[in-house]
Amino acid sequence: MTLPILYSFRRCPYAMRARMALILASKKCELREILLKNKPEEMLKISSKGTVPVLQFQDRVLDESLDIISWAMETHISNVHSYSAAEEIFSAELIHLFDTKFKYHLDRYKYASRYGEDPKLHRQECKIILDCLESKIDPRPWIFGKQVSLLDIAILPFIRQCRIANPNWFFAQKFPNVINLLDYFEKSDLFAQAMQKYELWDPAKNNGNIFP
Ligand SMILES: N[C@@H](CCC(=O)N[C@@H](CS)C(=O)NCC(=O)O)C(=O)O
């Protein structure tokens, strides 16, 4: 059987969440670790927008992380929280908020000089969203209880980036639910497995890795 090919960059939050979905669903692929500053022709040929993750099948290509997650999770997965109708709406709204507004302000907080922006202003906007999340969740230990959910894997890689930008600031904020959730996530086997290091893919060596 030919495995689908996943073009991935270890530190990319979108690729991270796609890898976690593949792990949870036990969907095997050939992982090709790439560098964003040196994207392989093979990837650009099938997805000209040049973002990771990209999952290539023999007959189609998925080049949006949420599409890869949906594909991985299209069948019921016993180790992932299954949503009630209300939870599904709650989850979709929060994922949208983090993928749009939070990501926008996070980029301008982290790379303020690149954007010519005031980082504190954008950090404050991130804080408003994290305060909002704080008021909506009571993680035990994941957002919906004992089992990890699509929402956890979709938003935590971005919250992690916000923490990395300035840990002292992050831990001084009054969002203990968010801090505890992130801590649990970063200590989880799921995260460890998703963050395993692979050597760069070299087409000449054909050194893709079977993942997970
Ligand atoms: N909407 C896309 C966004 C993916 C994305 O923007 N990935 C970043 C890396 S974190 C990327 O590949 N950027 C292209 C670049 O930096 O050249 C998805 O969800 O897959």
Whether residue 67 sits in one domain with residue 107? no
Substitution site in 51, 65, 158 for ligand 1 pocket (most atoms within 8 Å of beta carbon):
51
CA distance 80 to 148: 5
pLDDT at 1: 67
CA 140 vs CA 83, 137, 180, 182: distances in Å: 16, 9, 9, 12
**96 and 15 within one domain:** no
> How far is the C-alpha of 30 from the C-alpha of 4, rounded, in Å?
6
pTM of this prediction? 0.97
User: CA triplet 99, 33, 28: central angle to 5 degrees?
Assistant: 85
Do 110 and 64 have their domain in common? no
Question: Are residues 115 and 41 part of one domain?
Answer: no
Instruction: Give residue 108's domain range.
Output: 85-191
Do 153 and 57 reside in the same domain of the chain?
Answer: no
Q: Does one domain contain both 58 and 109?
A: no
Looking at the structure, tell me whether residues 47 and 133 fall in a common domain.
Answer: no
Total structural domains in the chain? 2
Q: Which of the listed residues 52, 63, 67 should we mutate to test ligand 1's pocket, taking the one with most ligand atoms within 8 A of CB?
A: 52
Q: What is the CATH number of the domain that holds 71?
A: 3.40.30.10
Nearest ligand 1 atom to alpha carbon 18? 20
Pair (123, 187) in one structural domain: yes
Q: Taking the chain (212 residues) in consecutive chunks of 10 residues, what is each chunk's mean pLDDT? A: 94 98 96 97 98 97 98 89 96 98 98 93 98 97 97 98 98 98 98 97 95 96
Alpha-carbon distance 18 to 68, whole Å? 6
**Sign for the pseudo-dihedral over CA of 176, 182, 187, 190:** positive
Give the N- to C-terminal CA distance of the chain in Å, as an integer. Answer: 16
66 and 91 share one domain: no
Give the pLDDT score at 157.
98
